[in-house]
Amino acid sequence: MKPGIHPENFRLVVFKDMSNDTMFLAKSCTATKDTIKFTDGNEYPLVKIDISHTSHPFYTGKMMLVDTAGRVDKFKKRFAKHIATKDEAPKEAAAE
């Protein structure tokens, strides 16, 4: 390791996954104002995160349900007039 490139102000911090309330303890130098009492009885700074290894589909093996049919219908509805004008142009040219 190169000397002098790593921060010196790291400490133990609790990271809490807000989607499933899982907490884990790790070293970090991130700034936070919140604190929480961890399972070991000590109070640590708290960092709230949206997703972690306990809730990410890659690590859990559960894929999120995506409403692809709804997206396709929404796309077709939004661009229906563009599709209609393209379809009408070749018919008019063929009639002449």
pLDDT digits (tens, 9 = 90+) for 30-76: 989 999 999 999 999 999 988 887 777 666 666 655 555 667 777 77
* Ranges of each domain in the chain: 1-62, 66-96
pLDDT at 68: 55
Distance CA 84, CA 51 (A): 43
